[in-house]
Chains A and B, each alone.
Chain A
Amino acid sequence: MTRHTAVRADPAPATPSPAGTPSVPAASVRVRRGRPARARNPVRAALPVAAFFAVLVGGWQAVAARSDNVLVPDVPAVWTALSDTVTQPLFYDSLGATLLRVGLGFALAFVTAVVVGIAMGRVEFVRRFFEPAVLIGLTVPGLVWALLCVIWFGVSLTNPVVAVALSAAPALTLSIYQGTRALDSELHEMAYVYRFSLVTKLRFLWLPSLLPALLSGARLGLSLSWKVIVLVEMFGMSSGVGYELNNQFAAQNVAGVLSWTLLFALVMAVLEYGVLQGLERRLGRWRKAASI
Protein backbone atom coordinates (compact mmCIF):
# COMPACT_ATOMS: atom_id res chain seq x y z
CA MET A 1 0.00 0.00 0.00
CA THR A 2 2.55 2.50 1.16
CA ARG A 3 4.80 1.66 -1.73
CA HIS A 4 2.08 2.32 -4.30
CA THR A 5 1.28 5.66 -2.78
CA ALA A 6 4.93 6.62 -2.71
CA VAL A 7 5.37 5.77 -6.36
CA ARG A 8 2.26 7.61 -7.39
CA ALA A 9 3.69 10.71 -5.74
CA ASP A 10 6.81 10.47 -7.92
CA PRO A 11 7.77 13.70 -9.67
CA ALA A 12 7.33 11.97 -13.03
CA PRO A 13 3.97 10.21 -12.79
CA ALA A 14 3.47 7.26 -15.09
CA THR A 15 1.24 7.75 -18.09
CA PRO A 16 -2.36 6.74 -17.46
CA SER A 17 -2.98 3.10 -18.19
CA PRO A 18 -5.05 2.34 -21.28
CA ALA A 19 -8.77 2.32 -20.70
CA GLY A 20 -10.28 -0.99 -19.75
CA THR A 21 -7.14 -2.35 -18.10
CA PRO A 22 -8.02 -3.98 -14.77
CA SER A 23 -6.83 -1.98 -11.81
CA VAL A 24 -4.33 -4.48 -10.40
CA PRO A 25 -2.10 -4.74 -13.50
CA ALA A 26 -2.33 -0.99 -13.86
CA ALA A 27 -0.94 -0.56 -10.36
CA SER A 28 1.93 -2.93 -11.03
CA VAL A 29 2.78 -1.09 -14.23
CA ARG A 30 3.02 2.08 -12.24
CA VAL A 31 5.31 0.46 -9.72
CA ARG A 32 7.52 -0.92 -12.47
CA ARG A 33 7.93 2.43 -14.13
CA GLY A 34 8.48 4.19 -10.85
CA ARG A 35 11.53 2.17 -9.91
CA PRO A 36 13.98 3.21 -12.62
CA ALA A 37 12.95 6.83 -12.11
CA ARG A 38 13.85 6.59 -8.44
CA ALA A 39 17.11 4.86 -9.22
CA ARG A 40 18.11 7.66 -11.59
CA ASN A 41 17.77 10.38 -9.01
CA PRO A 42 17.91 9.10 -5.42
CA VAL A 43 18.36 12.58 -3.94
CA ARG A 44 15.17 13.82 -5.48
CA ALA A 45 13.29 10.75 -4.32
CA ALA A 46 14.58 11.01 -0.74
CA LEU A 47 13.73 14.71 -0.50
CA PRO A 48 10.00 14.35 0.32
CA VAL A 49 10.79 11.74 2.96
CA ALA A 50 13.40 14.00 4.58
CA ALA A 51 10.98 16.91 4.41
CA PHE A 52 8.31 14.86 6.17
CA PHE A 53 10.61 14.02 9.07
CA ALA A 54 11.84 17.61 9.30
CA VAL A 55 8.22 18.82 9.56
CA LEU A 56 7.37 16.11 12.09
CA VAL A 57 10.34 16.81 14.38
CA GLY A 58 10.06 20.58 13.98
CA GLY A 59 6.33 20.53 14.62
CA TRP A 60 6.75 18.35 17.67
CA GLN A 61 9.40 20.64 19.09
CA ALA A 62 7.21 23.69 18.48
CA VAL A 63 4.21 22.12 20.22
CA ALA A 64 6.35 20.89 23.14
CA ALA A 65 7.94 24.31 23.59
CA ARG A 66 4.58 26.08 23.53
CA SER A 67 2.72 23.71 25.85
CA ASP A 68 5.60 23.53 28.38
CA ASN A 69 4.06 20.38 29.89
CA VAL A 70 5.88 17.29 31.23
CA LEU A 71 3.41 15.15 29.30
CA VAL A 72 4.74 16.56 26.03
CA PRO A 73 8.51 16.10 26.24
CA ASP A 74 10.55 18.12 23.79
CA VAL A 75 12.80 16.63 21.13
CA PRO A 76 16.05 16.62 23.17
CA ALA A 77 14.24 14.81 26.01
CA VAL A 78 12.93 12.16 23.64
CA TRP A 79 16.37 11.84 22.10
CA THR A 80 17.95 11.29 25.53
CA ALA A 81 15.37 8.65 26.36
CA LEU A 82 16.03 7.03 23.01
CA SER A 83 19.77 6.79 23.48
CA ASP A 84 19.27 5.56 27.06
CA THR A 85 16.99 2.81 25.81
CA VAL A 86 19.26 1.55 23.05
CA THR A 87 22.24 1.36 25.39
CA GLN A 88 20.44 -0.90 27.88
CA PRO A 89 20.66 -4.69 27.47
CA LEU A 90 16.98 -4.73 28.52
CA PHE A 91 16.01 -3.34 25.14
CA TYR A 92 17.69 -6.14 23.25
CA ASP A 93 16.30 -8.81 25.55
CA SER A 94 12.78 -7.44 25.18
CA LEU A 95 13.12 -7.06 21.46
CA GLY A 96 14.45 -10.60 21.14
CA ALA A 97 11.57 -12.01 23.17
CA THR A 98 9.02 -10.10 21.11
CA LEU A 99 10.57 -11.07 17.80
CA LEU A 100 10.67 -14.73 18.81
CA ARG A 101 6.95 -14.64 19.67
CA VAL A 102 6.06 -12.87 16.47
CA GLY A 103 8.27 -15.19 14.44
CA LEU A 104 6.73 -18.35 15.86
CA GLY A 105 3.17 -17.07 15.63
CA PHE A 106 3.69 -15.77 12.14
CA ALA A 107 5.25 -19.05 11.01
CA LEU A 108 2.24 -20.93 12.39
CA ALA A 109 -0.15 -18.57 10.63
CA PHE A 110 1.80 -18.78 7.38
CA VAL A 111 1.87 -22.57 7.22
CA THR A 112 -1.83 -22.78 8.07
CA ALA A 113 -2.70 -20.10 5.54
CA VAL A 114 -0.72 -21.75 2.74
CA VAL A 115 -2.47 -25.09 3.28
CA VAL A 116 -5.95 -23.65 3.79
CA GLY A 117 -5.61 -20.95 1.12
CA ILE A 118 -4.50 -23.34 -1.61
CA ALA A 119 -7.16 -25.86 -0.64
CA MET A 120 -9.78 -23.10 -0.76
CA GLY A 121 -8.64 -22.10 -4.21
CA ARG A 122 -8.79 -25.64 -5.55
CA VAL A 123 -11.75 -27.27 -3.83
CA GLU A 124 -15.18 -25.69 -3.78
CA PHE A 125 -16.25 -27.49 -0.60
CA VAL A 126 -13.17 -26.35 1.30
CA ARG A 127 -13.73 -22.80 0.12
CA ARG A 128 -17.31 -22.76 1.40
CA PHE A 129 -16.23 -24.43 4.63
CA PHE A 130 -13.49 -21.94 5.49
CA GLU A 131 -15.06 -18.80 4.08
CA PRO A 132 -17.07 -17.96 7.24
CA ALA A 133 -14.01 -18.65 9.39
CA VAL A 134 -11.91 -16.25 7.33
CA LEU A 135 -14.60 -13.57 7.40
CA ILE A 136 -15.08 -13.87 11.15
CA GLY A 137 -11.32 -13.90 11.66
CA LEU A 138 -10.94 -10.73 9.62
CA THR A 139 -13.57 -8.85 11.59
CA VAL A 140 -12.59 -9.88 15.13
CA PRO A 141 -10.27 -7.17 16.54
CA GLY A 142 -6.77 -8.21 17.53
CA LEU A 143 -7.49 -6.94 21.02
CA VAL A 144 -10.10 -9.68 21.47
CA TRP A 145 -7.64 -12.40 20.44
CA ALA A 146 -5.10 -10.92 22.83
CA LEU A 147 -7.55 -10.96 25.75
CA LEU A 148 -8.82 -14.45 25.03
CA CYS A 149 -5.35 -15.90 24.69
CA VAL A 150 -4.23 -14.34 27.95
CA ILE A 151 -7.25 -15.91 29.66
CA TRP A 152 -6.75 -19.33 28.08
CA PHE A 153 -3.00 -19.75 27.94
CA GLY A 154 -1.70 -17.51 30.74
CA VAL A 155 1.95 -16.48 30.65
CA SER A 156 3.24 -19.39 28.60
CA LEU A 157 4.78 -18.96 25.16
CA THR A 158 1.61 -20.48 23.67
CA ASN A 159 -0.33 -17.33 24.52
CA PRO A 160 1.46 -14.81 22.27
CA VAL A 161 2.09 -17.38 19.52
CA VAL A 162 -1.57 -18.34 19.23
CA ALA A 163 -2.72 -14.73 19.48
CA VAL A 164 -0.39 -13.68 16.68
CA ALA A 165 -1.36 -16.67 14.53
CA LEU A 166 -5.08 -16.01 15.01
CA SER A 167 -4.82 -12.38 14.03
CA ALA A 168 -2.52 -12.86 11.04
CA ALA A 169 -3.90 -16.08 9.53
CA PRO A 170 -7.24 -14.81 8.11
CA ALA A 171 -5.69 -12.03 6.03
CA LEU A 172 -2.89 -14.32 4.89
CA THR A 173 -5.33 -17.06 3.95
CA LEU A 174 -7.44 -14.66 1.94
CA SER A 175 -4.40 -13.37 0.08
CA ILE A 176 -3.13 -16.86 -0.77
CA TYR A 177 -6.61 -18.02 -1.74
CA GLN A 178 -6.91 -15.14 -4.19
CA GLY A 179 -3.44 -15.89 -5.53
CA THR A 180 -4.45 -19.51 -6.12
CA ARG A 181 -7.55 -18.42 -7.98
CA ALA A 182 -5.47 -16.27 -10.27
CA LEU A 183 -3.25 -19.20 -11.31
CA ASP A 184 -2.97 -19.55 -15.03
CA SER A 185 -4.85 -22.62 -16.25
CA GLU A 186 -3.10 -22.35 -19.62
CA LEU A 187 0.24 -22.99 -17.97
CA HIS A 188 -1.23 -25.99 -16.20
CA GLU A 189 -2.27 -27.42 -19.55
CA MET A 190 1.27 -26.85 -20.79
CA ALA A 191 2.68 -28.59 -17.71
CA TYR A 192 0.31 -31.49 -18.34
CA VAL A 193 1.15 -32.06 -22.01
CA TYR A 194 4.88 -31.92 -21.25
CA ARG A 195 4.40 -34.36 -18.37
CA PHE A 196 5.90 -32.17 -15.66
CA SER A 197 6.34 -34.14 -12.46
CA LEU A 198 4.61 -32.98 -9.29
CA VAL A 199 7.89 -31.67 -7.89
CA THR A 200 8.63 -29.73 -11.10
CA LYS A 201 5.12 -28.30 -11.06
CA LEU A 202 5.40 -27.19 -7.44
CA ARG A 203 8.86 -25.74 -7.83
CA PHE A 204 8.57 -24.06 -11.22
CA LEU A 205 4.87 -23.39 -11.68
CA TRP A 206 3.05 -23.16 -8.35
CA LEU A 207 5.66 -21.45 -6.23
CA PRO A 208 6.56 -18.68 -8.71
CA SER A 209 2.89 -18.09 -9.55
CA LEU A 210 1.95 -17.81 -5.90
CA LEU A 211 4.99 -15.80 -4.88
CA PRO A 212 3.44 -12.33 -5.24
CA ALA A 213 0.46 -13.42 -3.16
CA LEU A 214 2.72 -15.08 -0.59
CA LEU A 215 4.88 -12.00 -0.20
CA SER A 216 2.09 -9.45 -0.05
CA GLY A 217 0.26 -11.74 2.35
CA ALA A 218 3.39 -12.00 4.46
CA ARG A 219 3.72 -8.24 4.68
CA LEU A 220 0.10 -7.83 5.63
CA GLY A 221 0.34 -10.65 8.17
CA LEU A 222 3.47 -9.22 9.75
CA SER A 223 1.97 -5.78 10.16
CA LEU A 224 -1.04 -7.34 11.90
CA SER A 225 1.27 -9.41 14.09
CA TRP A 226 3.15 -6.38 15.45
CA LYS A 227 -0.09 -4.78 16.51
CA VAL A 228 -1.39 -7.73 18.43
CA ILE A 229 1.88 -8.77 20.09
CA VAL A 230 2.18 -5.48 21.92
CA LEU A 231 -1.32 -5.92 23.34
CA VAL A 232 -0.65 -9.48 24.46
CA GLU A 233 2.58 -8.46 26.16
CA MET A 234 0.81 -5.60 27.94
CA PHE A 235 -1.92 -7.79 29.36
CA GLY A 236 -0.36 -11.12 29.89
CA MET A 237 3.42 -11.24 29.68
CA SER A 238 6.25 -10.19 31.99
CA SER A 239 8.74 -9.42 29.24
CA GLY A 240 8.87 -8.04 25.72
CA VAL A 241 8.44 -4.65 24.12
CA GLY A 242 4.75 -4.42 25.02
CA TYR A 243 5.51 -5.14 28.68
CA GLU A 244 8.21 -2.43 28.78
CA LEU A 245 5.88 0.02 27.09
CA ASN A 246 3.32 -0.66 29.79
CA ASN A 247 5.97 -0.04 32.46
CA GLN A 248 6.85 3.31 30.94
CA PHE A 249 3.15 4.12 30.76
CA ALA A 250 2.64 3.21 34.43
CA ALA A 251 5.59 5.45 35.35
CA GLN A 252 4.00 8.24 33.27
CA ASN A 253 7.25 8.48 31.34
CA VAL A 254 6.04 9.83 28.00
CA ALA A 255 9.56 10.12 26.59
CA GLY A 256 10.09 6.46 27.47
CA VAL A 257 6.85 5.41 25.78
CA LEU A 258 7.83 7.38 22.70
CA SER A 259 11.36 6.03 22.52
CA TRP A 260 10.24 2.39 22.87
CA THR A 261 7.57 2.94 20.26
CA LEU A 262 9.95 4.62 17.84
CA LEU A 263 12.57 1.92 18.18
CA PHE A 264 10.06 -0.88 17.80
CA ALA A 265 8.56 0.79 14.73
CA LEU A 266 12.04 1.20 13.27
CA VAL A 267 12.86 -2.50 13.66
CA MET A 268 9.55 -3.48 12.08
CA ALA A 269 10.04 -1.09 9.19
CA VAL A 270 13.49 -2.54 8.53
CA LEU A 271 12.02 -6.04 8.56
CA GLU A 272 9.11 -5.18 6.33
CA TYR A 273 10.69 -2.83 3.83
CA GLY A 274 14.26 -4.05 3.98
CA VAL A 275 13.85 -7.79 4.20
CA LEU A 276 10.48 -8.56 2.64
CA GLN A 277 10.58 -5.95 -0.10
CA GLY A 278 14.17 -6.83 -0.89
CA LEU A 279 13.12 -10.44 -1.23
CA GLU A 280 10.23 -9.42 -3.46
CA ARG A 281 12.52 -7.43 -5.71
CA ARG A 282 15.11 -10.19 -5.91
CA LEU A 283 12.56 -12.83 -6.79
CA GLY A 284 10.81 -10.55 -9.24
CA ARG A 285 13.86 -9.88 -11.40
CA TRP A 286 12.23 -11.43 -14.45
CA ARG A 287 9.38 -8.96 -14.10
CA LYS A 288 11.73 -5.99 -13.94
CA ALA A 289 13.45 -7.16 -17.11
CA ALA A 290 10.13 -6.76 -18.89
CA SER A 291 10.05 -3.00 -18.44
CA ILE A 292 13.33 -2.38 -20.30
Chain B
Amino acid sequence: MTTNGAPAEDAGQRPYAVLDGVGKEFFSARTGERETVFDGFSLTLHHGELVAVVGASGTGKTTLLHLVAGLEHADTGRITLDDETRTDGPPGPAGPSGTEGTGHRLGVVFQQPRLLDWLSVRRNVELALTSAGLDPAGASQALADVGLAQYADRYPSVLSGGQRQRAAVARAFAVQPELVLLDEPFSALDQLTARRLRLLLQDLWTARPRTGLLVTHNPLEAAFLADRVIVLDGRPARVHAEFAIGLPRPRAPEDPRVFDHQTEILAALG
Protein backbone atom coordinates (compact mmCIF):
# COMPACT_ATOMS: atom_id res chain seq x y z
CA MET B 1 0.00 0.00 0.00
CA THR B 2 1.48 3.32 -0.98
CA THR B 3 0.17 6.77 -0.37
CA ASN B 4 0.33 8.68 -3.58
CA GLY B 5 -1.32 11.84 -4.85
CA ALA B 6 -2.72 14.67 -2.83
CA PRO B 7 -3.99 14.21 0.72
CA ALA B 8 -7.70 13.75 1.11
CA GLU B 9 -8.33 17.19 2.57
CA ASP B 10 -7.22 18.96 -0.60
CA ALA B 11 -9.63 17.08 -2.83
CA GLY B 12 -12.31 17.17 -0.15
CA GLN B 13 -14.70 19.52 -1.82
CA ARG B 14 -14.74 18.03 -5.33
CA PRO B 15 -17.99 16.09 -5.70
CA TYR B 16 -17.53 12.44 -6.66
CA ALA B 17 -20.96 10.82 -6.39
CA VAL B 18 -24.04 13.00 -6.71
CA LEU B 19 -27.64 11.89 -6.21
CA ASP B 20 -29.92 14.56 -7.53
CA GLY B 21 -33.66 14.43 -6.88
CA VAL B 22 -33.71 10.65 -6.83
CA GLY B 23 -37.08 8.90 -6.54
CA LYS B 24 -37.60 5.20 -5.95
CA GLU B 25 -40.81 3.25 -5.41
CA PHE B 26 -41.37 -0.37 -4.47
CA PHE B 27 -44.34 -2.63 -4.67
CA SER B 28 -44.66 -4.01 -1.20
CA ALA B 29 -45.14 -7.76 -1.45
CA ARG B 30 -46.95 -7.75 1.86
CA THR B 31 -49.57 -5.07 1.37
CA GLY B 32 -49.56 -4.94 -2.44
CA GLU B 33 -49.28 -1.17 -2.25
CA ARG B 34 -46.76 1.19 -3.73
CA GLU B 35 -44.29 2.44 -1.19
CA THR B 36 -42.17 5.46 -1.88
CA VAL B 37 -38.71 4.94 -0.44
CA PHE B 38 -37.14 8.06 -1.92
CA ASP B 39 -38.76 11.13 -3.38
CA GLY B 40 -36.58 13.97 -4.56
CA PHE B 41 -33.65 12.71 -2.50
CA SER B 42 -30.30 14.44 -2.95
CA LEU B 43 -26.89 13.61 -1.54
CA THR B 44 -23.32 14.41 -2.52
CA LEU B 45 -20.22 12.39 -1.70
CA HIS B 46 -17.00 14.34 -2.12
CA HIS B 47 -13.71 12.93 -3.32
CA GLY B 48 -11.82 11.18 -0.55
CA GLU B 49 -14.72 11.37 1.84
CA LEU B 50 -16.24 8.52 3.82
CA VAL B 51 -19.91 9.16 4.44
CA ALA B 52 -21.89 7.01 6.84
CA VAL B 53 -25.64 6.65 6.52
CA VAL B 54 -27.47 5.58 9.67
CA GLY B 55 -31.15 5.05 10.31
CA ALA B 56 -33.65 2.51 11.56
CA SER B 57 -34.21 -0.65 9.50
CA GLY B 58 -36.48 -0.13 6.55
CA THR B 59 -35.61 3.53 5.98
CA GLY B 60 -33.94 2.71 2.68
CA LYS B 61 -30.26 2.72 3.64
CA THR B 62 -29.49 -0.40 1.65
CA THR B 63 -31.64 0.79 -1.25
CA LEU B 64 -29.53 3.94 -1.31
CA LEU B 65 -26.36 1.89 -1.53
CA HIS B 66 -27.84 -0.34 -4.22
CA LEU B 67 -28.77 2.71 -6.26
CA VAL B 68 -25.20 4.00 -6.10
CA ALA B 69 -23.83 0.53 -6.92
CA GLY B 70 -26.14 0.25 -9.93
CA LEU B 71 -27.86 -2.81 -8.49
CA GLU B 72 -31.14 -0.92 -8.63
CA HIS B 73 -32.33 1.85 -10.87
CA ALA B 74 -33.84 5.13 -9.78
CA ASP B 75 -37.37 5.83 -11.02
CA THR B 76 -36.69 9.55 -11.27
CA GLY B 77 -33.77 11.87 -10.85
CA ARG B 78 -30.15 11.22 -11.69
CA ILE B 79 -27.12 9.64 -10.11
CA THR B 80 -23.72 10.71 -11.37
CA LEU B 81 -20.40 9.15 -10.50
CA ASP B 82 -17.39 11.32 -11.22
CA ASP B 83 -19.42 13.49 -13.63
CA GLU B 84 -20.86 10.58 -15.55
CA THR B 85 -24.54 9.89 -15.35
CA ARG B 86 -25.38 6.44 -14.06
CA THR B 87 -29.15 6.60 -14.03
CA ASP B 88 -31.28 9.14 -15.75
CA GLY B 89 -35.05 9.36 -15.80
CA PRO B 90 -37.10 6.20 -16.33
CA PRO B 91 -35.66 2.91 -15.11
CA GLY B 92 -33.58 0.86 -17.49
CA PRO B 93 -33.86 -2.91 -17.76
CA ALA B 94 -34.69 -4.24 -14.32
CA GLY B 95 -32.15 -6.09 -12.26
CA PRO B 96 -28.38 -6.04 -12.27
CA SER B 97 -28.05 -6.73 -15.97
CA GLY B 98 -27.33 -3.28 -17.31
CA THR B 99 -23.91 -2.40 -18.61
CA GLU B 100 -23.88 1.28 -17.75
CA GLY B 101 -21.36 2.74 -15.36
CA THR B 102 -18.72 0.15 -16.20
CA GLY B 103 -15.99 2.76 -16.11
CA HIS B 104 -16.08 3.05 -12.35
CA ARG B 105 -14.35 0.56 -10.21
CA LEU B 106 -16.35 -0.41 -7.17
CA GLY B 107 -15.27 -2.19 -4.04
CA VAL B 108 -18.27 -3.49 -2.15
CA VAL B 109 -18.42 -5.20 1.23
CA PHE B 110 -21.83 -6.68 1.91
CA GLN B 111 -23.24 -7.78 5.24
CA GLN B 112 -22.45 -11.36 4.26
CA PRO B 113 -19.01 -12.11 2.80
CA ARG B 114 -20.50 -13.29 -0.51
CA LEU B 115 -17.46 -15.34 -1.45
CA LEU B 116 -17.58 -18.17 -3.95
CA ASP B 117 -17.40 -21.12 -1.58
CA TRP B 118 -16.01 -23.49 -4.22
CA LEU B 119 -12.90 -21.39 -4.81
CA SER B 120 -10.00 -20.70 -2.49
CA VAL B 121 -9.85 -17.32 -0.81
CA ARG B 122 -7.02 -16.31 -3.13
CA ARG B 123 -8.98 -17.32 -6.25
CA ASN B 124 -11.91 -15.26 -4.99
CA VAL B 125 -9.76 -12.15 -4.83
CA GLU B 126 -8.01 -12.99 -8.10
CA LEU B 127 -11.32 -13.21 -9.94
CA ALA B 128 -12.26 -9.72 -8.82
CA LEU B 129 -8.81 -8.46 -9.86
CA THR B 130 -8.89 -9.98 -13.35
CA SER B 131 -12.46 -8.77 -13.83
CA ALA B 132 -11.23 -5.26 -12.97
CA GLY B 133 -8.44 -5.62 -15.52
CA LEU B 134 -5.74 -5.80 -12.84
CA ASP B 135 -2.91 -8.22 -12.28
CA PRO B 136 -4.20 -11.18 -10.22
CA ALA B 137 -0.83 -11.32 -8.46
CA GLY B 138 -2.08 -8.46 -6.29
CA ALA B 139 -4.30 -10.92 -4.42
CA SER B 140 -1.49 -12.07 -2.15
CA GLN B 141 -0.67 -8.55 -0.98
CA ALA B 142 -4.35 -7.73 -0.50
CA LEU B 143 -4.83 -10.81 1.67
CA ALA B 144 -1.65 -10.09 3.61
CA ASP B 145 -2.96 -6.57 4.28
CA VAL B 146 -5.98 -8.02 6.08
CA GLY B 147 -3.92 -10.65 7.91
CA LEU B 148 -5.08 -13.63 5.87
CA ALA B 149 -1.78 -14.50 4.16
CA GLN B 150 -1.64 -17.95 5.72
CA TYR B 151 -5.26 -18.72 4.83
CA ALA B 152 -5.00 -17.68 1.19
CA ASP B 153 -5.27 -21.21 -0.17
CA ARG B 154 -8.06 -22.40 2.08
CA TYR B 155 -11.68 -22.66 1.08
CA PRO B 156 -13.88 -19.94 2.63
CA SER B 157 -15.98 -22.60 4.37
CA VAL B 158 -13.13 -23.51 6.75
CA LEU B 159 -12.59 -19.91 7.85
CA SER B 160 -14.35 -18.22 10.73
CA GLY B 161 -17.00 -15.58 10.09
CA GLY B 162 -14.57 -12.80 10.85
CA GLN B 163 -11.92 -14.25 8.53
CA ARG B 164 -14.43 -14.59 5.72
CA GLN B 165 -15.42 -10.96 6.14
CA ARG B 166 -11.72 -10.02 6.12
CA ALA B 167 -11.45 -11.80 2.79
CA ALA B 168 -14.41 -9.77 1.53
CA VAL B 169 -12.69 -6.57 2.69
CA ALA B 170 -9.48 -7.67 0.97
CA ARG B 171 -11.40 -8.23 -2.25
CA ALA B 172 -13.05 -4.83 -2.03
CA PHE B 173 -9.76 -2.99 -1.56
CA ALA B 174 -7.72 -5.19 -3.91
CA VAL B 175 -9.50 -3.86 -6.99
CA GLN B 176 -8.18 -0.35 -6.18
CA PRO B 177 -11.71 1.02 -6.17
CA GLU B 178 -12.60 4.61 -6.82
CA LEU B 179 -15.66 4.12 -4.66
CA VAL B 180 -15.99 1.79 -1.69
CA LEU B 181 -19.49 0.76 -0.65
CA LEU B 182 -19.96 -0.86 2.74
CA ASP B 183 -23.39 -2.34 3.47
CA GLU B 184 -23.62 -3.16 7.20
CA PRO B 185 -20.20 -4.75 6.79
CA PHE B 186 -19.66 -5.88 10.37
CA SER B 187 -23.15 -6.25 11.78
CA ALA B 188 -23.21 -10.03 11.33
CA LEU B 189 -20.08 -10.43 13.46
CA ASP B 190 -19.60 -10.59 17.22
CA GLN B 191 -18.57 -7.42 19.06
CA LEU B 192 -14.88 -8.18 19.38
CA THR B 193 -14.45 -9.34 15.78
CA ALA B 194 -16.39 -6.35 14.51
CA ARG B 195 -14.16 -4.02 16.51
CA ARG B 196 -11.01 -5.57 15.05
CA LEU B 197 -12.37 -5.29 11.55
CA ARG B 198 -13.28 -1.64 12.07
CA LEU B 199 -9.69 -0.96 13.08
CA LEU B 200 -8.50 -2.88 10.03
CA LEU B 201 -10.79 -0.85 7.81
CA GLN B 202 -9.44 2.35 9.30
CA ASP B 203 -5.88 1.19 8.59
CA LEU B 204 -6.73 0.43 4.98
CA TRP B 205 -8.48 3.74 4.65
CA THR B 206 -5.63 5.74 6.19
CA ALA B 207 -3.14 3.99 3.93
CA ARG B 208 -5.06 5.10 0.87
CA PRO B 209 -8.16 7.26 1.23
CA ARG B 210 -10.89 6.76 -1.34
CA THR B 211 -14.48 7.86 -1.62
CA GLY B 212 -16.77 5.72 0.50
CA LEU B 213 -20.35 5.15 1.51
CA LEU B 214 -20.97 3.21 4.70
CA VAL B 215 -24.45 2.02 5.55
CA THR B 216 -24.86 0.97 9.16
CA HIS B 217 -27.31 0.91 12.04
CA ASN B 218 -24.46 1.25 14.52
CA PRO B 219 -23.90 4.92 15.53
CA LEU B 220 -20.54 4.11 17.11
CA GLU B 221 -19.29 2.51 13.92
CA ALA B 222 -20.43 5.54 11.96
CA ALA B 223 -18.77 7.99 14.36
CA PHE B 224 -15.57 5.98 14.47
CA LEU B 225 -15.10 5.48 10.73
CA ALA B 226 -16.80 8.29 8.85
CA ASP B 227 -15.95 11.88 7.96
CA ARG B 228 -19.62 12.75 7.79
CA VAL B 229 -22.68 10.98 9.22
CA ILE B 230 -26.14 11.28 7.73
CA VAL B 231 -29.23 10.23 9.65
CA LEU B 232 -32.05 9.00 7.42
CA ASP B 233 -35.62 9.03 8.64
CA GLY B 234 -39.20 8.71 7.46
CA ARG B 235 -40.96 7.42 4.37
CA PRO B 236 -40.08 8.72 1.86
CA ALA B 237 -36.65 8.95 3.48
CA ARG B 238 -35.04 12.32 3.99
CA VAL B 239 -31.88 13.55 5.67
CA HIS B 240 -33.00 14.05 9.25
CA ALA B 241 -29.66 15.23 10.59
CA GLU B 242 -26.08 15.53 9.44
CA PHE B 243 -22.87 15.51 11.48
CA ALA B 244 -19.33 16.28 10.44
CA ILE B 245 -16.83 14.11 12.31
CA GLY B 246 -13.70 16.25 12.26
CA LEU B 247 -11.48 13.89 14.23
CA PRO B 248 -8.04 13.12 12.77
CA ARG B 249 -7.18 9.53 11.87
CA PRO B 250 -6.14 7.13 13.21
CA ARG B 251 -8.90 7.31 15.78
CA ALA B 252 -9.07 5.15 18.85
CA PRO B 253 -12.37 3.34 19.43
CA GLU B 254 -12.24 4.44 23.07
CA ASP B 255 -11.74 8.11 22.19
CA PRO B 256 -14.30 10.08 24.25
CA ARG B 257 -14.87 12.42 21.28
CA VAL B 258 -16.04 9.43 19.23
CA PHE B 259 -18.48 8.65 22.04
CA ASP B 260 -19.69 12.27 22.05
CA HIS B 261 -20.48 12.00 18.36
CA GLN B 262 -22.18 8.67 18.95
CA THR B 263 -24.39 10.30 21.57
CA GLU B 264 -25.33 13.08 19.14
CA ILE B 265 -26.22 10.57 16.46
CA LEU B 266 -28.23 8.46 18.88
CA ALA B 267 -30.18 11.51 19.96
CA ALA B 268 -30.96 12.32 16.32
CA LEU B 269 -32.06 8.73 15.71
CA GLY B 270 -34.24 8.59 18.82
Nearest-CB distance from A32 to chain B (Å)? 11
Known A286-B157, A289-B157: A196·B96 in contact at CB below 8 Å: no
Tell me if B128 counts as interface (CB < 8 A to partner A): yes
Nearest-CB distance from A83 to chain B (Å)? 45
**Other-chain residue from A188, A205, A287 in contact with B96 (beta carbon distance below 8 A):** A188
A188 to B42, CA, bound (A): 28
Known A192-B96, A193-B108, A287-B157: A187·B114 in contact at CB below 8 Å: yes
A194 B131 Cβ-Cβ under 8 A: yes
A200 B127 Cβ-Cβ under 8 A: yes
- A residues less than 8 Å from B106 (CB atoms): 193-195
Residue of A nearest to B158 (CB): A289
A193 to B108, CA, bound (A): 7
Tell me if B27 counts as interface (CB < 8 A to partner A): no
Proximity string of chain B (43-59) to chain A, C-beta cutoff 8 Å, 1 when within and 0 when not: 00000000000000000
Give the interface size bracket for A toward B: 20 to 34
Proximity string of chain A (185-209) to chain B, C-beta cutoff 8 Å, 1 when within and 0 when not: 0111110111111001000110010
A208 to B124, CA, bound (A): 14
- B residues less than 8 Å from A196 (CB atoms): 127, 131
Query: Max chain B CB contacts within 10 Å: which of A188, A193, A200, A292?
Result: A193
- B residues less than 8 Å from A286 (CB atoms): 117-119, 155, 157
Tell me if B16 counts as interface (CB < 8 A to partner A): no
Tell me if A290 counts as interface (CB < 8 A to partner B): yes
B110 A208 Cβ-Cβ under 8 A: no
Nearest-CB distance from A27 to chain B (Å)? 18
Proximity string of chain B (215-259) to chain A, C-beta cutoff 8 Å, 1 when within and 0 when not: 000000000000000000000000000000000000000000000
B110 A200 Cβ-Cβ under 8 A: no
Nearest-CB distance from A163 to chain B (Å)? 36
Residue of A nearest to B112 (CB): A186
**Other-chain residue from A187, A194, A205, A208 in contact with B175 (beta carbon distance below 8 A):** A194
Nearest-CB distance from B11 to chain A (Å)? 24
A190 B158 Cβ-Cβ under 8 A: no
A204 to B112, CA, bound (A): 19
- A residues less than 8 Å from B127 (CB atoms): 194, 196, 200, 204
B155 A290 Cβ-Cβ under 8 A: yes
- B residues less than 8 Å from A188 (CB atoms): 96
Tell me if B132 counts as interface (CB < 8 A to partner A): yes
Known A186-B110, A189-B96, A287-B157: A194·B116 in contact at CB below 8 Å: no
14 A-B pairs with CB atoms under 8 Å apart are A186-B110, A186-B114, A190-B114, A194-B171, A194-B175, A195-B105, A195-B132, A200-B131, A287-B117, A287-B157, A289-B155, A290-B117, A290-B155, A292-B158
Q: Which residues of B contact A (CB under 8 A)?
A: 69-71, 96, 102, 105-106, 108, 110, 112, 114, 116-119, 127-128, 130-132, 154-155, 157-158, 171, 175, 181
Q: Nearest 7 CB-CB pairs, A to B?
A: A290-B157, A192-B96, A190-B114, A208-B118, A193-B108, A194-B128, A286-B155
Other than the known A195-B106, A205-B116, what 8 A-B pairs have Cβ atoms closer than 8 Å?
A192-B70, A195-B131, A196-B131, A197-B131, A200-B131, A287-B157, A289-B154, A290-B155
